[in-house]
Every structure is written in C-alpha cells, then in structure tokens.
Amino acid sequence: MRNIDAQTITPAFLQRIAGCGDPRLKQVLGALVTHLHDFAREVQLTEAEWMAGIEFLTTTGQKCSGTRQEFILLSDVLGLSMLLVAQHHDKPAGCTEATVFGPFHTDDAPHLPDGADLRGGAPGTPLDVAIEVRSLDGRALADAEVDVWEADADGFYDVQHADLDHRRARGVLRTDAEGRARFTALLPTPYPVPTDGPVGQVLVACGRHPWRPAHLHFLIRAAGHETLVTHIFREGSDYLDSDVVFGVRSSLVAEMPEVAPGRHQLRQTFVLNPVMAGATP
C-alpha cells in the first residue's frame, strides 16, 4: 500500500479497517471517512482550508467546558442535531414532538417542590406554568421527572454568567398523582446562541443571524415511556421561522398570555410515547 493517490486513498482506508472487530464501528467509520474524502475531492479542498478546519476544530474543542458544549452548538447550527431528532423520534400521532437538546442542560439543577419558583433571582417577567404529563392513552403519568431550563431576559443561561455561583432559571420537579406540576418560571424571550466562540464566527461569516425564538426547554422522564426532550416556544416570538438551530415545530408553539399585569401563564400538556415491554426506554 504505497503511492496512494487522491482516489485510491478511500479504498485503502476501507481495507485498513476491514479487520475491525466491531461491525457497527466499521460501518459508521467507513461511511464517515468515505463522505469526508468525497467532500475533499468534490470541493478540491486546499491545504490552507484544511488547516483552517484543523484550527476551527481545535478552538471548538478548547472552548468546551463543564458548562459549555461548543461542538453540540456546532451540531445544532449545522442542522445535524435536528436531523437526528427527526430521524429517531417519529412517534405515533398524539405524542408531543421532540426537538433539539441544546448545549445548556446541566445535571445539577435544583430539585424543587411543586409550586416552586425556579427563577432564583434571574431577571425577567414571571410566567406561571401548569403542565400535565400523560401517556398516549390519556392516563396521567404520576411521579414523572420534569427537568426545565431556560435563558433569562438578558438572553443568557445561568451557566453563561461567569460570576454566578448558583443555578437559576432551571429546576427538576415531579408530577403529582394527576400527572400535574406547577411552577413559576420566566416568560421566555428570543436570545442569540453564543457568538463569542468559533461557532459564532461561522455564523457571522455565513451572514446568518444567531437567534433562537423564545422557548423553555423540557426533559421529561416517566417509567415505561420514551424520554421526551423538547421545547415549548412562545407564540408570536420573533425568529419562529428562522430558528438558528432549525428546531421549531408548529405543535410546540404555545400561547403565553398576560393574565395579570406583568404576569403571564402557560398551560401545557405533554404526551409521552409508551415503550413496549422489553424495549429500551
């Protein structure tokens, strides 16, 4: 295997992994590298562009931290995240649709009692939220875990405030016997994804805006059901038709009316997809 040229490199690579003991890895890596090579040939990628790519990937990796995942942001703005969501969450009609996970979930959100105020001092207009979690057949799902997170009125998640020493505008609740949970959150507002990193630079270079329409994130787990990762978007928000991460689904857009001066309300039912016995939840 000497004197490999721009064409023979691809079969040479595939031959090199022919002995891989993991058939799925062989399939995925073989397809990935074939597409990578095809891409480089198709656009006649230059070495300067390749080096720019190496530097971009390096900077992106080094921008990641315990509270920031720049590669997930990259996947989001390139549409890969939404592609995967669409590919794997083709649920029965009647189930709540999924959308992208995003880079700002944390595993250490405070566990809060029903009725809690999860704002924790974050700036914004209060939003009284009342949700119901149900199975596809309509029965209430008690003791479901409801993980909520959102940006504040300044457009930042708590983890984006370097000087903040506690979590806020996020929390984990449990549904009651009727599948309900209530909490006070923030009326969501549109915000830009972070543009101070390499992914933001790509958006600028492409002439793309970095904005997401107003939304709250939900991650809902209930026994015997597929975990739901989704948002609820605010009806009337800017950017509903040009979400930078391609995540808007019409069924996830909800009214959040002002029910008292300076106080808004959201009522939302989530319908989870039951997992058949023996399947992986």
Q: Within positions 234 to 263, which residues make up the interface with a second copy, using CB under 8 A?
A: 240-243, 246, 248-250
Choices 75-83, 146-154, 155-163, 260-268; region in contact with a second copy by CB under 8 A: 75-83
Q: Which is nearer to a second copy, 46 or 195 (CB)?
A: 46
Residue 111 CB: number of other CB atoms within 10 A? 11
- Residue 74's CB is within 10 A of a number of other CB atoms, namely 20
117 binds a second copy (CB under 8 A): no
d(CA 134, CA 136): 7
146 forms beta bridges with 173, 220
Only segment of 73-81, 112-120, 121-129, 147-155 that touches a second copy (CB under 8 A): 73-81
Residue 281 in the binding site for a second copy (CB under 8 A): no
Quick one: how far is CA 233 from the chain centroid?
A: 13
**What is the closest distance, in whole angstroms, from the C-beta atom of residue 164 to a second copy in the complex?**
23
Distance CA 141, CA 181 (A): 11
- Nearest-Å Rg of the Cα atoms of the chain is 22
HSE-up (13 A, CA, CB side) for residue 129: 35
Asked if 116 and 189 touch (Cβ cutoff 8 Å), the reply is no
Binding residues for a second copy, total number by CB under 8 A: 74
How far apart are CB 126 and a second copy at their closest, in Å? 28
Indicate whether 279 belongs to the interface with a second copy (CB under 8 A): no
SS3 assignment, position 126: strand
Give me the least distance between CB of 270 and a second copy, in Å please.
Answer: 18
Out of 61, 113, 115, 224, the only residue in the binding site for a second copy (CB under 8 A) is: 61
Q: Rounded distance, CA 2 to CA 266, Å?
A: 65
Specify the residue for token string 């490199």: 9
The least distance separating a second copy from the CB of residue 223, rounded to whole angstroms, comes to 20
By CB under 8 A, is residue 275 in contact with a second copy? Answer: no
CA distance 142 to 103: 28
CA 4, distance to chain mean position in Å, is 41
End-to-end CA distance of the chain: 46
Q: How far is the CB of 262 from a second copy (least distance, A)?
A: 30
* Residues 125-184 interacting with a second copy (rule: CB under 8 A): none
Question: Quick one: 8 or 269, whose CB is closer to a second copy?
Answer: 8
Kindly write out the interface string for residues 190-219 of this chain, putting x where it contacts a second copy by CB under 8 A and - elsewhere. ------------x--xxxx-----------
Question: By CB under 8 A, is residue 66 in contact with a second copy?
Answer: no
Question: Interface mask (CB under 8 A) for a second copy, residues 1-40, using x and -?
Answer: xxxxxx--xx-xx--xx-xxxx--xxxxx-xxx-xxxxxx
